[in-house]
Chain A
Amino acid sequence: MKASAALPVAVVSASLIAFWYVAAIGLNWQVVADMQARAGAAPGFGEMLSLTLSHNRPLLPAPHQILVELWDTTVVLPVTSRRSLVHHAWITLSAALTGFAMGTALGIVLAVAIVHLRALERSLMPWIIASQAVPVLALAPIVIVALGALNLPDLLPKAIISAYLCFFPVTIGMVKGLAAPDRLSLDLLRTYSATRAQVFWALRVPTSLPYLFAGLKVAVAAAVVGAIVAELPTGAQAGLGARLLAGSYFGQTIQIWSALAAAAIVSASLVGLLGVTERVVAQRLGARAG
């Protein structure tokens, strides 16, 4: 992020958080007021404020309540605990990463095949695009049930859904990237009488890297979504999606929001990690900084 954007981002973020607090007070007011009235108490305004921000089943938990819950379920609780968010986040993350690896491999293979075989481009490409018009996440229950019937490990069905979501942005980016080298460079390699394989490794692959990483960033975010949603329909016992579902069954809003926050952190760190990898790879390949 450029330094010039730091101040506006900070101000906008701060006003969002302030708005969140106001919304939390407003949304929880009625709940707290009813509860106090039933108890026969008539708290003053200041007391009401603090009660709305510390309710244990609020309509909207305040940011600090979510932070406390996050801290308690990650740092304070041992990782082996059934309530530990680290444990649940790892289950989701491992499925997402497995799916990401599978999807990326498939996406790259498809892209290389499409770039090299013309018949494939005409026949396969429309179907690859159509495959994404299918609301893929709606397939989740089928895949889970079908693969569950085969007695595969719990991780694999989730990974397959993630992979299905992943391969598309990778394929599209790679096809574009592999076709990106300009006429001049291709002609130069031709004058060197480079073979097709040499052109591929020396020119097409390096040129495609920025496109590949753009696709990978979209793909890894999609992989996390896929793994979370895949945990919903079967009522999985563990994972961030299971935490969301359990929280919504039992009205544990703080648990829902902390699971959401954990998912956001996992997702954002993965994208950030890819950004760093991209820069390192670009430097290794001798790209100029900037």
Chain B
Amino acid sequence: MTGVLALLVALVGALVVQRSSRFEGGVLGLLAPLAFGATLLALWEILVVGYEVPMVLLPAPTAIANRMAASAHILAQDFAQTFLKAVLAGYIIGCGAGFALALIADRVPFLRQGLLPIGNLVAALPVIGIAPVMVMWFGFDWQSKAAVVVAMTFFPMLVNTVTGLAAAGRIESDLMRSYAATHRQTLFLLRLPAALPFIFTGLKVNAPLALIGAIVAEFFGSPTIGMGFRIATEAARLALDMVWAEIIVAAVAGSAFYGLVVLAERAATFWHPSIRG
């Protein structure tokens, strides 16, 4: 019975996805991915309820939704602790510091040549492992999580900004030179605008990194509040519906954060070919 129902839903879903995938752009363009997502959710619910999958393995979407409604205030507190304090503070400091050092490195070519390979190397390292050290230095509260976020976001921002500052075209640079523009004028009028797409790449890469860093840092010790803390303790108690509720909050927060950066990018680099389309 369950199998038949699941098959039916899958077929209808596939048909709708197939039919709606010819719409491009606009609201109708969203139809195909939405249909795909809805099909997945429906299948998930049917299979979990129909085959009585234990909650330890996978709670049904409705169970997660109920849990979210019931524990809304806990979710809100955790969100404030992890996202509004640790992620935002760390993101702003880390990206700001990376950007500032990139500006300095831009004035000192020797520093730039030395920093760039090191920055690229650090990008391949598991920086997140610094979390226990930061917890030891800055205590259990959000400051240590913000410090982890700073460490994770600093180098991507540095490398992207340095690369971006070198991106201005030869002809434009020569033109500025022939106008006898000062370094500052060239920087603000030509090279920073030209670097913006790269800077936004750094900001976009860092947005999910910051959230992950703060959540994972909480696994190493935190006050009895925070998304990472809740995920770890509720998973240990096998209250998987609460864990999934936190994951959904994290996913929505992460996507919204990323979305905001993309919106800012569109507003700031409206002239770039990839956005003008």
Contacts and interface: CB of A to CB of B under 8 A. Distances in A.
A138 B258 CA distance: 17
Q: Which of A127, A225, A259 has the most CB of B within 10 A?
A: A225
B220 A123 contact: no
B125 A149 contact: no
Nearest to B123: A221
Nearest to A5: B113
Interface in A66-113: none
Interface string B41-78: 00000000000001011100000000000000000000
A271 interface: yes
Contacts of B141: none
Interface in B171-229: 208, 211-212, 215-216, 219-221, 227-228
Contacts of A146: 56-58, 240
A33 to B, nearest CB: 18
Interface in B232-274: 232, 235-236, 238, 240, 243-244, 246-247, 250-251, 254-255, 258
Contact of A8 (B35, B110, B258): B110
Interface string A191-224: 0000000000000000000000000010001001
A12 B101 CA distance: 13
B220 A232 contact: yes
Contacts of B244: 142
A138 B56 contact: no
Interface of B is mostly: helix
B12 interface: no
Given A59-B137, A119-B18, A145-B238, A245 B114 contact: no
Nearest to B58: A146
B93 interface: no
Interface residues of A, number: 60
A270 B208 CA distance: 24
A5 B115 CA distance: 10
B117 interface: yes
B56 A149 contact: yes
Interface residues of B, number: 62
B32 A11 contact: no
A271 B126 CA distance: 12
A89 to B, nearest CB: 12
B133 A232 contact: no
Most buried by B among A228, A233, A253, A268: A233
A130 B215 CA distance: 18
19 contacts: A11-B110, A12-B115, A119-B21, A122-B21, A123-B35, A127-B36, A135-B247, A137-B212, A137-B215, A138-B227, A139-B247, A142-B235, A221-B124, A232-B216, A244-B131, A248-B132, A248-B220, A256-B133, A263-B126
Q: Nearest 3 A-B pairs (CB), nearest first?
A: A12-B114, A248-B132, A141-B235
Interface of A: 1, 4-5, 8-13, 16, 59, 118-119, 122-127, 130, 132-139, 141-142, 144-146, 149-150, 217, 221, 224-225, 228-229, 232-233, 240-241, 244-245, 247-248, 251, 253, 256-257, 259-260, 263-264, 267-268, 271
